[in-house]
Structure formats: C-alpha cells, structure tokens
Structure 1
Amino acid sequence: MKRKEVSEIKKTFNPTNCCISRICSCYVDSEKNKRTELKEAFLSLPEEETFKYFNIFKSALSGSIGKNMVNMKFPLFTEEEGGTQNFLLKLRDSQLKDDALIEAFYDKVIGSYDYGENYYIILIHCAYDIPAKSLDGLEMYDASDFVFEFIQCTICPVKLSKAGLCYNSELNTIENRCRDWLVEAPDTGFVFPAFTNRNTDIHGLLYYTKNPEQIPERLIDELLGCKIPMSAKNQKETFQLIVKETLGENCNFEIVKKIHDSINEMLEETKDESVPFTLDKYQMKKLLEKNGASQENLKDFDQRFQESQVDEFPVFMASNVANTNSFEIKTSDVSIKVAPDKSYLVRKQFVNGQSCIVIEASGHVEINGIAVI
C-alpha cells in the first residue's frame, strides 16, 4: 500500500464516510484471561464512543511507510486450507458474525502476543465502496465498480491512570482522583487484505507498529504467517556497513558527505510521490560510483551485498538509511549537528598540522544564548 491508499482508507474512519459494519473486541488481563468481550454493529455504539474508536483506528494507520507501516506478503503455503492467510480470509468473509472464528482469533492473539500487561484487542469489519476517479484525478462518489471489504485489528495497552488530585464540581472540592483503566493508542495492528492500487490484494496486508524496533516477531509469525522484514534500524546499519566495507580506505569525509547529500536530494525530489523512494542493489551501486567510489572499490560490491543478506530484502527505504533531520558529525569528544541542506558549511581540513572539522560561522553566533563576535 502507498501513502495515498493509506490516507484514503484513513478517511473512512469518521462519521460522514464510515464504512465500518461491525466491531468485536476482547479485554485481556496480564494473566492472559479474557475479561470482557464486545460484539455488535459499530453504529449502534454511543456517538461519544465511536469517536474514540475512530481515533484508535486512525492511529494504526499513522507514521511512515517502511517504519511504522510495513507492507507484508503471505508465503503461498499460508493460503492453503488451515494456513494463516486462509484463516484471516475466512474471518473477513464472515463479516465478524461467526463467534467460533472470532474466539479462535482471540486465542491466536493471546497465545502469540508476548505482552505482560493488560491489553484490548479490537476487530472491525469494513466495506468501502471505492469511488471511481475522473481523468483529472477527482473522486466520483456516485460511480463505483468495486467494494474493498477488509478487517482491521488493533491491539491497545490498557493501563491504570496516574494518581493525583481532581476538582469535584458537584461538591466544589479538591479531592483524590479515582484511578481508571485507560485504553491507550495501539501498539500494533494490521489491515487485511491490503489495498493495493486502490483494490483488494488478498496476498498481502499492511502491518502497523508503534515502535519499529520492538516488532512482536512471534505474533507476526504465528498469527499472520508473514516474513518479518528488516527493521528501519537494521536497514540503516546494514546500509552503513556496506558503504564502509565497499569504500574501505577511501571511506573519507567528503565521499560520505556526498552520499548523504545525494540521498537527501533524491528524497526531496520525490517527497510528493505516493511511492516511497527506495534503493535496490543497482541504485546503491550507482550511488557509490557517482559519489567517488572507484571501480576497484566496487568490484566485490555484488558479493558483499549478497553476503549482507540484503538479497532477502532487495530494497532499502531511503528515509530509513538517511538522516533527514540533521547532518551529524561525531568524534570521540565532540558531536556536531547541522541542517541536512547545510552540510556544505562543514568541511574537514588540516590546520597547523592537525586534522580538524571546520565550520563556516558567518552571521550571528551564540554560545549558551550569549551573542559573541
């Protein structure tokens, strides 16, 4: 799924465009016991509750594609009878009206989700009447040929509110506040099937994680059956390792700075595109060659790329391997950060026989808030 497709589904989570037909949920305590369950038509809930649920569903479609939202594909064997994809397809097709399937789903989550505290599993069934688009890209809501029928699962931590004082308006007093168990924003979840090219793709799903570095591997493996992709952190570390090993002794300040600048330039050029900018093996090789890697450096690049096991994950998300917030230089004693588009202000040169990092300091200069000359 692309950014525009995610946004399109996200827009259905409001009262005007609501396509949610049914909601089922289960509150699980820290001992993995089912404490309470909900099964009913979504629009039969009180209006105040539906707004809070909308916020939860939108939260599980937020963040960056490739970090918080990851497109996953099902291995073929999972689509056979008894496979994980086959089970999810049956769950969707039941429109969440088959109690046995719902209970089996809860049991699968509880059995594979390693979380030592209370949490709330929410399942919704949706039927989105996909509006056609005119030649100029405008949506025509009165013209639709397809319906995207999907389920979304969100898993939310449930935590006790903090102790404190509150104002009692009835008694006009300040008193101890009652502590409640609060449903927080989701930690993880998924949309199945995927909404690819604005249509149903039963061979994939969109997975969400609040923390990209804490992916529940067992849940993905046992509940979804999808191959776990390389995390954003691992992508960055693998990319950096390939650059260092390829350049070898030529891994100098200027070449690395040029690589950083080139990636950020490409990200800026593609920022309005719906598909995130990625680097495959060929593009990465061209990037290194363009910015100073010699043919001698690159002669073992293909083998090095394969040895890093990147062949299982054939592309890097450019936003995962580049620092789009700052250009950072570190020594053993000093850390320097500048805006990514101002890297030209920093250079490395010899001063009085010493290798130094030199920063152009024209205009206003402050030290701890004090303007200096």
Structure 2
Amino acid sequence: MNEKEVAEIRRRFRPEKSNIAYIRGCYVNDKREIVSEFRQSFALTPQEESEKLLAILKRTLSGTLGKNLIDIDFTTRQVVDSEEHSLLMELRNSSLNNEEAAQALFQRIVQSLSIEGHYVILLAYDTYDVPYRSKDGEQQEDASSEVYSYFLCSICPVKMTKPALSYYVNENMFHNRKEDWIVAAPEIGFLFPAFEDRSTNIYSALYYTRDIAENHQEFVDAVFHCEVPMPAAEQKETFESILGETLAEDCSYDVVQSVHGQLSGMIEEHKANKEVEPLVLSKTAVKRVLESCGVPEERTATFDEKYDTVFGADTELRPRNIINSKQFEVCTPDVTIRVNPERSDLLETRVIDGKKYILIRAEEGVEVNGVQIHIS
C-alpha cells in the first residue's frame, strides 16, 4: 500500500465515516492467559468512548511506510491452500462472527507474542464503498467502484496509571486520583486484506509495529507465516556498518557526507514530484551512488559481496530507512555535533601538528550555554 491508500483507510476511523458495528476482542494477563473476552456494540457506546476506541484503532495505521507499516505478501500457494490465509479470510468473510476463527486467531497471537505486561486484542470489521475516481483524479462520492471489506487487529498494552492529585472544578476541591488500568496505543497490529490500487488485494496485508527496532518475527510467522524485512533501525545500523567496513581507510568525512547528501536529495526529489509509490533502491542503485561519490571500484566490489550476505542480492532498501535526511551527526567518544544536513559543508576534518581535528566554520550567532560569544 502507498501513503495515499493508507490515508484513505485511516479516514474511515471517524464516527461519521465508519461502518464498524462493534469491537470484539480479549484481555490477556502477564502470564499469557486470556482472562476475559468482550464484544461491544458501537451503537450502545457513548460517543466520547467510541471516538477514543476509533482513535486507538486508527493508530494501527500510523507511522512511516517501510518502517512502522510493512507490506506482507502471501504466496499463491498460501492463498489457495494454507491455514493462516484461510483463517484470515474466514474472519473477514464472516464479519468477525465466526467464533472458532476468532478463538484460533487469539490463540495464535497469545502463544507467539512476547510483550511485557497485560494487553488487549481488538478486532474491528468495516465495509467501505470506495468512491469512483475518474482519470483526472476527481472523486465522485455518489458513484462506488467496489465495496472494500476488511478487518483491523490492534494489540494494545494495558498500563497502570500513577496515583496523582486532581482538582475537581465542580466541587472546588482537590482529591486523590487513584491508580487505574488504561489502554495504551497499539504496539503491533495489521489490516487484512490490503487496499492496493484502491481495491481489495487478498494476496497482501499491512502489518504495523510501533517500535522500528522490533518486527516481532514470531508473531508474523504465527499469523501470516511470512518473512518480514529486517527492522528499519537494524537496516540503518547494518548499512552504516557495511559502508564503514567496505570503505575502510577510504571512509572519509567527505565521502560519507556525499553519500548522505545524494540519498537525501533522492528523498526530497521523490517528495517534490509527489510520487505515489515509495522510493526504493536496488543494490545496483546504491552502488551507483557510491561510485558517484568517488568510491574506488575495488571498494564497491567488496560492498557488493557484503550486501548480498547481509541483505540479500535482490533486496531493495528504502533510503528513509538507512539515513536520517533531516539530521547530520558527527560523534566522537566525548562530543556529538548535530548539523543542519543542508549545511554539512560547515564541517571539515584536518590534521594539524599530527593531531586530528573536526573544524566547524562559525561566523555570527555563536552561543555557549545560551550566552552569545565572540570569537577573536
């Protein structure tokens, strides 16, 4: 799914847009035991509470594509004949009313998921009359191209609040607020089936993880029986490691600055062109970036080998996962320097009298601990 498609489904989670009739789910304690199950009608739920429930569900479609939101692709064999896909289809086709299927999903989640503390599993089913969109992009609300039916699963930690002192305006008095259990934002979840090309795609699901350093492979394997990409945080760390090992003594400030600049430029250009599909780079494209930054051929050959070993030859990387285009950082064991990426030219490295230095060009507006100083 692309950003526009995700945004279109996110807009469904408003009281005036949603066709969700009820929320069903279960409560799991810290011993991985289902202690209660529930089925709550939206029609009988006070508006304030239903809005909060929709807001929690909506968070399962938040974050960055490729980092928090990851496409899960099923093979043709899985779609034709597999327990995991049949279970998801049964839940969707029965509007979450198949008790046996719901119990099977709960058990798969509980037995595979390792998160600390208590949590709730929330399931919501919705149908969306997809408005027809003409070739010029105009949307016609009164013309539907198809009905997209799907369900969303959100797994939310339940956390204990701290006791506090509250002021009650009506009584004009202070009272102790007791500690209580609250449902937090989703830790993980998924949408099935995917909404691609503004249509139903039963060959795909959209998986959500709040933590970009953790993809919960055991959960994904139990529910989807599919591989997921390396977590985004690990992709960045791995790419930086490969780059440093590949370039070795040729890994200068100028080269790293140039690589960061080129990848940032690609991200900005993609954004400016309002491209619908996410920006991805093949191994060949990454090598071309290195070559244009002056990396010798023998170094790019080494990079080629390491890339195959760590990522896989056919793996495509998203530039947003391997660099932070909004930040340029230089670190030593004792000092960290953060620079506007557009002004990374203000830094340079130099050896003076046999000692290594990082030099920062400074003109006006230099402050130390909030005090403006003069350099003379």
Q: Following the alignment from structure 1 to structure 2, what is the Cα–Cα distance between the partners of residues 321 and 177?
A: 45
Structure 2 residue matching 1:240: 3-state secondary structure: helix
Structure 1 residue 261 and structure 2 residue 293: aligned? Answer: no
TM-score, normalised relative to structure 1: 0.93
The answer to whether the 8 Å contact 1:117/1:157 transfers is: yes
Number of the residue aligned with 1:368: 369
> Any residues of structure 2 matched to 1:185-200 within 5 Å, and which?
185-200=185-200
Q: Aligned partner of 1:360: which letter?
A: R
Q: Aligned partner of 1:329: which letter?
A: V
- For each residue in 1:115-153, what CA deviation from the matched residue of structure 2 results, as whole angstroms up to 9, or x when unmatched? 342111110111111111123322211111211111100
Structure 1 residues not aligned, in runs of 5+: none
Which stretch has the larger CA shift, 223-232 or 328-337? 328-337
Q: Percent identity?
A: 35
The two structures, once aligned, show a CA RMSD in angstroms of 2.0
- For each residue in 1:174-204, what CA deviation from the matched residue of structure 2 results, as whole angstroms up to 9, or x when unmatched? 2322222111111110001111121111111
Structure 1 residue 87 and structure 2 residue 68: aligned? Answer: no
> Any residues of structure 2 matched to 1:195-344 within 5 Å, and which?
195-271=195-271, 272-311=274-313, 314-344=315-345
Number of the residue aligned with 1:358: 359
The answer to whether the 8 Å contact 1:150/1:191 transfers is: yes
Structure 2 residue matching 1:13: 3-state secondary structure: coil
Q: Following the alignment from structure 1 to structure 2, what is the Cα–Cα distance between the partners of residues 246 and 100?
A: 53
The answer to whether the 8 Å contact 2:152/2:190 transfers is: yes
Q: Aligned partner of 1:296: which letter?
A: E
The answer to whether the 8 Å contact 2:260/2:325 transfers is: no
The answer to whether the 8 Å contact 1:75/1:225 transfers is: no
Structure 1 residue 12 and structure 2 residue 12: aligned? Answer: yes
Distance 1:29 1:298, change over 3 A: closer
Q: Following the alignment from structure 1 to structure 2, what is the Cα–Cα distance between the partners of residues 174 and 241?
A: 55
Structure 2 residue matching 1:122: 3-state secondary structure: strand
Number of the residue aligned with 1:118: 118
The answer to whether the 8 Å contact 2:215/2:230 transfers is: no
> Any residues of structure 2 matched to 1:165-180 within 5 Å, and which?
165-168=165-168, 172-180=172-180
Count of residue pairs brought into register by the alignment? 372
Q: Aligned partner of 1:210: which letter?
A: R
Distance 1:331 1:114, change over 3 A: closer
Which stretch has the larger CA shift, 296-305 or 67-76? 296-305
Number of the residue aligned with 2:50: 50
Q: Following the alignment from structure 1 to structure 2, what is the Cα–Cα distance between the partners of residues 298 and 231?
A: 25
Which stretch has the larger CA shift, 209-218 or 88-97? 209-218
Q: Following the alignment from structure 1 to structure 2, what is the Cα–Cα distance between the partners of residues 168 and 365?
A: 47
Give, in angstroms, the shift of residue 237 of structure 1: 2.2
Q: Following the alignment from structure 1 to structure 2, what is the Cα–Cα distance between the partners of residues 173 and 192?
A: 49
Distance 1:239 1:116, change over 3 A: closer
- For each residue in 1:63-85, what CA deviation from the matched residue of structure 2 results, as whole angstroms up to 9, or x when unmatched? 11111111111244433545211
Structure 2 residues not aligned, in runs of 5+: none
Structure 2 residue matching 1:234: 3-state secondary structure: helix
Number of the residue aligned with 2:24: 24
Give, in angstroms, the shift of residue 100 of structure 1: 1.9
TM-score, normalised relative to structure 2: 0.93
Structure 1 residue 103 and structure 2 residue 90: aligned? Answer: no
Number of the residue aligned with 2:153: 153
Q: Following the alignment from structure 1 to structure 2, what is the Cα–Cα distance between the partners of residues 44 and 81?
A: 39
Distance 1:243 1:145, change over 3 A: same
The answer to whether the 8 Å contact 2:162/2:178 transfers is: no
